[in-house]
Chain A
Amino acid sequence: MKKNIYIVLLALCTSFGFAQQTPASKQSKPIAITGATAHLGNGEVIENSLIIFKDGKLTTVSSAAQTDLSGMEVIKADGKHVYPGFIVPSSTLGLVEIDAVKATSDDDEIGEINPHIRSIIAYNAESKVVESMRPNGVLLGQIVPQGGRISGTSSVVQFDAWNWEDATVKVNDGIYMNWPSSFTRGRWWLGEDPGLKINDKYSEQVDEVVSFFNETKAYGAGDQPIINLPYAATQGLFDGSKKLYINVDDEKGITDAIHFAKNNKVQHMVIVGGSEAFKVADLLKQNNIPVILQRIHSLPSRDDDDYDMAYKLANLLVEKGVLVALNANGSMERMHSRNIPFYAGTAVAHGMAKEEALKLITSNTAKILGIDKDYGTLETGKSATLFISEGDALDMRTNKLTHAFIDGRSVSLETHQTELYKRYDNKFKAGK
């Protein structure tokens, strides 16, 4: 038995043995990127631009001008493109390494009401999946617990760190919850039809959430001799220090969720998923509620839906003035997170303007997550979290990074995968 455990441990050690890329050290000297097309992330584009950053902050973002670049590291990027680092929200990156191996899974705690459960402390800064984000320009993420009715508290991290503390950009930024669904599945093991049917318990389930919020507010209003962890963790929703992210897709659920949040004086709420959000776009706009939209590369949810329903959802919302960001949720969501630039690209194919689509994974996301003071656009004074691509980074053909910076640090674009690539590419080239 013991011997077996050693074998397993040994196996794990060898298989996870490749070192993660060493996190980059602090920016030591000013860096200037010249000649690139700069996509600022706020809708603007500067052709033939000059971008300078010092001590991790952008100092110049302008058209090419006669500037003294002496003492700077100069990156000539003529014909190339510069973008603010892409951000993937509502992600489980770093919480699970291999889907099918339970031992590597830390994303879903038991229990229904878990606002006190915090993702940040389980975030594995050395995950091989996390490092694979960088070569595609995805440099920041919001790490989110899953499951239950109230899943827990999220945090925002950057993707080049020694440990979770080091990675933290904004700790405990919000609470994630799953809105009760209008449909449930039959319990096949009791001989029921396993198909989806109307959820008879919908109101009951909503009431449970409402009464939890009532208790929480009552708890917050008075002196409490004993700390109640779930109630305490929820208080930030009422003073605006935390946002409430609600996973909900259907028209009715979204409407109910909005009324729920308003009635309970939740200061900031965000709809996550929102495959039918476009049907209540006006209501969202009126209440200033943003949407983190489901994976663009999804099938329509119903047979009769337009084949490009998922592709055009973002555009339908943006046209109505709703603030929209994109996530990668769904099967294999962690590894697919590196594809969010191409989700934005697909939105362009189905009606959205390119720079508008770029906002879905940069400035809009930063605004929703509350990190827009520092991230999401290329503007002076903000963090130098950006990358250079040989071509259009929303198109997979041309998304080829030459440099990436997080807070001015020049991060490695190597990964477990590029190492294997090089090893075997060399093997066969040498053999020829």
Chain B
Amino acid sequence: MIKTLLTLMTFMCSFSLLAQEYFPKNDGVFTKNTNYTAITNAKIFVTPTQIIEKGTLLIKDGKVVASGASVSIPKNATQIDATGKSIYPSFIDMYSDFGIEKPKRQGGGRSAQYDPSRTGFYWNDHVMPENNAIDQFKYDSKKAEDLIKAGFGVVNTHIQDGIVRGTGTLVALNSDADNSMRIIEAKSAQYLSFDKSLKSNQSYPSSIMGSMALLRQLYNDADWYAKGNSKTKDLSIEALNNNKSMVQIFEAGSRANDLRADKVGDLFSIQYIILGGGDEYERLDEIKAMNAPMIIPINFPEAYDVENAFLAATLSIQDMRAWNQRPSNPKLLAEKNIPFALTMHDLKSAKDFQANILKAIEAGLSKEKALEALTTVPAQLLGKTDKIGSLKNGAYANFLITSGDIFDKKTTLYENWVQGYKNTIEDRNTIDIAGTYAFTLAGDTYEMVLSGESSKLKSEITSDNKKRGSKVSYANDWVNIAFTTQDSTKQEFVRVIATVDANKNLNGKAILPTGNELSFFAKQTEAKKDSEAKKEDDEDDKKEAVATVSPITFPNNGYGFETLPKAETILFKNATVWTNEKDGILTNTDVLIKNGKIAKVGQNLSEGGATVIDASGKHLTSGVIDEHSHIAAASINEGGQNSSAEVTIEDVLDDTDINLYRNLAGGVTSIQILHGSANPIGGRSAIIKPKWGHAAKDLIIDNSPKFIKFALGENVKQSNWEGTRFPQTRMGVEQVYVDYFTRAKAYEALKKSGKPYRYDTEMETLVEILNGERFISCHSYVQSEINMFLKVAEQFDFRVNTFTHILEGYKLADKMVEHGVGGSTFSDWWSYKYEVNDAIPYNAAIMHDAGVTVAINSDDAEMSRRLNQEAAKTVKYGGVSEEEAWKFVTLNPAKLLHIDDRVGSIKVGKDADVVLWTDHPLSVYAKAEKTIIEGVTYFDLKRDEQIRTQIKKEKSQLINDMLQAKNKGLKTQPIKKKEKELLHCDSE
């Protein structure tokens, strides 16, 4: 009954008609309405900051003619008195899929699809700038009704599918008119994301770094195409070039991806408007530095249902904090002056919108900012401030009439006007009939209590102190009541229909179960009790009480820092110092670190102001360096093609990975994060220091040497699963390289010739290899393929830098020495696949003896935190000296990574990346007591101890808060166990 209210109550304003003036008319005469509508005596928010306390809003033809305190009202105006009411510009959602059918996943086969499904378009199916929302747009009145009830007047809608999604359409939620009126801008913005289209199974890109690389290449290609260089037609690129001048909106969806999207845009001087994830507060400085306007969702997580203590124990602090902290996101963004619009995106239902806006306001977002984020900011971002987002003269008559402050829980939204058409949500003139009534019917006297809001009225009827079952509905001054008769076994009803008079008395008739009708009169004996109203208020307030907000740490998980630690001057006294230099292992030696560098090594050192650490009985070494790791990355493999030289792990570093901290606890201070081994030519590496707490980009070491992963063997030829991609044999692997390097040479020649060329990131990367500017770390197992790759390199006149894994390196150590390639291997892994059948733990020793620069690496988040133990295994297997064994995880990987000029040994002037061990560092009994990078102590056993206590405390506090939330009747979500996927070479 109420559900149709909206449609029933909507009426055509007298001043406007649908027919376009140049259309033929066959159903009557041409009419034109030039009347005005004036809404008077209202508090008008022309903008969030321009407020008229008592003014008039004058509209005509769906637009604002004037708004102000003293507007002269033309004679031909319909007047509406809105005394005591407030008028706001209606809301705008600039990230919507309103009226667009949700894309459905197209059924895919088991085998991967490498080629595109289309012709005449870009080679990648997921790039669809040629899509236009307007072509698929179908006005959805039902969804519009929900949005109108939530206060929205305009949405920018688009096809939420693919990486480049084409243009969106700006549309007014005008259910009374047709598209000719609703559509404000047919092509209002271009939309992008990192997510592949559901409609294509083309496998590339299979990772975020692949999506980033694809976008970069696309922009380069578009530029080349625009200059007329292409001999063929590409409708996608043409569309992209046409859409260039539009607003570009990027769905990033998390603070990490916000930064990634912005990075892509920056390279091409495109400033995306970025749809965030609600977790931006975790890295406000970096978010601020993007200088990007944002669209922020308010889909705050519900509390977890923590009643079961076993299950509650599986929750991570990170997930629990999300519940506690995310409502503060809008406030923190506002405090940082980061411009943002709010969106309904990712909210389960429009009904949650108001509740969550209120949550954000409770958490500290100012009402003014909230209103701006829903009106002026999106209008401005879309370049439509003259039309939407305010009630300035000439803007669309899109506004809300409310009983008061729109961000107050008790406020009623009466009307939402769109383009001059009124949508009634609650009848503004409804008389509040809540209260106590008395009536007599067929000799019996009754008491009736009506309570609640007019649209959701509840009734309680008693007679002779006996409660009767009853139901009531109330609309348009008419009340319908049904209540049971005295004989409760019969389920018979007395029905009443009555109208309300000015004294709130009810007049009408009652229909008895017999069918007889009697006249009905009920007198209001008491209006809604004040005490009752107050009780409701109190209960509401109780529900709203916010728990204390957990401190936001860097990174924002259990082991994060509240403030980042700083470099210190530290003097280690009387340590056993493993220099990795000519001096070898020095006993009773002092080491001073200062300004992030190793300042002095010697006896009896002193330094004023230094923190002195007694290291007697302990060992001080340079930090462990892992040549091959896959921690701290959002993706590892871009396996969608047989070469992925265009991708880089630097794009996808994850500064929140707890394994960074665990690596520190194992004395690790430098790490190469390598691409996986899905393809012969893999992606570029990130060489990082695990500076726990710092943002992803700051983990990358300065002037980082350039590396790329190559891979040979079973993984690239897809041996252990069904594969269809070239190559499927080691023979094919060779030809992949010959092909790519041949093309790279031709590419470079063309580039040098000065003729136009198509910038190709892959080729640029390969040219760097050919010119010795980028180094290869090549995943390799058996001797035949290793030998082959050496020959390919020699054919193209470059040097292979490192063979990683290199488990049969011992079979051709002589050839490796001759070529000058290093080996980074496992201490003792073997037998997990056919190609490691001949892997032996003596590999490192033989290669080392032959003169190869040898490192021991991890390829594993567990092993990386005890690489000292793995190095020690080479003492057992093959009798490597302890001093040399130690270099396998420090100086030698530094050499292989070309960073031995700054790390890898304890030498004055090198980075103060040092570890204090409780015991001989190669001993199984040793623990890292302090791990220091550039003078900053990132891991300390004592701090670790303290933090454990803190975690316990914070967890029980948060669980307690969640239990309280549940007791207050708030919604909860079931617990899901957080699980980190551990990435290896083979990880997709």
User: How far apart are the CA atoms of A251 and B313 in the complex, in Å?
Assistant: 10
Q: Which of A128, A400, A421 contacts B876 (CB 8 A)?
A: A400
Report the Cα distance A185→B830, complex, angstroms. Answer: 30
Say yes or no for B612: interface residue by CB 8 A criterion: no
Contacting A at CB under 8 A, from B789-825, are 810-811, 813-814
Chain A residue nearest to B861 (CB atoms) is A299
* Residue of B whose beta carbon sits closest to that of A195: B976
A266 CB-CB contact with B under 8 Å: no
Within 8 A of B (CB), among A414-432: 417-418, 420-421, 424-425, 428-429, 431
**Interface mask (B822-834 → A, CB under 8 Å = 1, otherwise 0):** 0000001111111
* Interface-lining segment among A66-74, A92-100, A223-231, A317-325: A92-100
Q: Is the CB of A307 within 8 A of B662?
A: yes
How many residues of B sit at the interface, in one of the four size bands?
35 or more
Are B924 and A196 in contact, with the CB atoms below 8 A? no
Q: How many whole Å from A398's CB to the nearest CB in chain B?
A: 8
The answer to whether A425 touches B832 (Cβ under 8 A) is: no
Name which residue of chain B comes closest to A431, CB basis: B814
Please give, as numbers and ranges, the residues of chain B lying within 8 Å of A421 by CB-CB distance. 810, 840, 842, 846, 877-878
* CA gap between A346 and B878 in the complex, in Å: 22
Please report the C-alpha to C-alpha distance between residue A300 and residue B830 in the assembled complex, in whole angstroms: 24
- With known contacts A299-B862, A302-B316, A396-B873, A349–B924 Cβ distance under 8 A: yes
A303 adjacent to B810 (CB under 8 Å): no
User: Which of under 10, 10 to 19, 20 to 34, or 35 or more describes the interface residues of A?
Assistant: 35 or more
Question: A335 within 8 Å of B by Cβ?
Answer: yes
Cross-chain contact of B662 among A297, A299, A302 (Cβ < 8 A): A299
Chain B CB within 8 A of A3 CB: no
CA of A420 to CA of B714, assembled, Å: 22
Known: A299-B862, A399-B876. A350 touches B828 (CB 8 A): no
> Do residues B979 and A196 form an inter-chain contact, with CB atoms below 8 A?
yes
Is A307 a contact of B944 with CB atoms below 8 Å?
yes
Q: Scoring A residues 230 to 255 as 1 if CB is less than 8 Å from chain B, else 0, what string do you get?
A: 00000000000000000000111000
Q: Within the complex, what minimum Cβ distance (angstroms) separates B561 from chain A?
A: 15
Residues of A within 8 A of B332 (CB): none
Would A397 and B834 count as touching, CB distance under 8 A? no
**Does B558 make an interface contact (CB < 8 A)?**
yes
Number of A-B contacts (CB under 8 A): 159
A332, CB-defined interface residue at 8 Å? yes
A299 vs B866: C-alpha distance in the bound complex, in angstroms?
A: 11
B927 at the interface (CB under 8 A from A): yes
Contact with B along A289-329 (1 / 0, CB 8 A): 00000000111101110111000000000000000000000
Instruction: Please pick, from A299, A395, A428, the residue contacting B925 in the complex, using a CB distance under 8 A.
Output: A395
B501 at the interface (CB under 8 A from A): no
Decide yes or no whether B837 CB sits under 8 A from chain A: yes
- Does B926 belong to the interface (CB within 8 Å)? yes
Main DSSP-derived SS at the B contact region = loop
Rounded to whole Å, the gap between the CB of B861 and the closest CB of chain A is 6
Q: How many whole Å from B309's CB to the nearest CB in chain A?
A: 9
Cα of A331 to Cα of B861 in the assembled complex, Å: 13
Given A197-B974, A420-B838, A421-B846, is A346 in contact with B924 using a C-beta cutoff of 8 Å? yes
Whether B849 lies near A348 (C-beta < 8 A) is no
In the complex, the chain A residue whose C-beta lies closest to that of B922 is: A397
Considering only residues 895-937 of chain B, those with a C-beta below 8 Å from chain A are: 918-919, 922-927
Task: Establish whether residues B834 and A98, one from each chain, have CB atoms under 8 Å apart when the complex forms.
Answer: yes
CA distance A183 to B976 in the complex (A): 9
- How many angstroms between the C-alpha atoms of A182 and B309 in the bound complex? 13
Residue B948 CB within 8 A of the other chain: yes
Q: A193-B976, A397-B922, A428-B813 are in contact. Are A349 and B831 (CB under 8 A)?
A: no
Looking at the complex, which one of B840, B850, B978 makes contact with A417 (CB distance below 8 Å)? B840
B557: nearest chain-A partner, CB-CB:
A303
* Contacts beyond the supplied A348-B925, A397-B875: 15 A-B pairs with Cβ under 8 Å: A100-B714, A100-B719, A100-B720, A183-B977, A196-B976, A250-B310, A299-B862, A304-B558, A304-B951, A342-B924, A349-B925, A349-B926, A396-B876, A398-B875, A421-B810
Q: Does A146 contact B (CB under 8 A)?
A: no
Residue contact A349 to B842, C-beta cutoff 8 Å = no
Choice from B557, B714, B842, B975 contacting A198 with Cβ under 8 Å? B975
Q: Is the CB of A101 within 8 A of B978?
A: no
A269 at the interface (CB under 8 A from B): no
Residues of A within 8 A of B719 (CB): 100
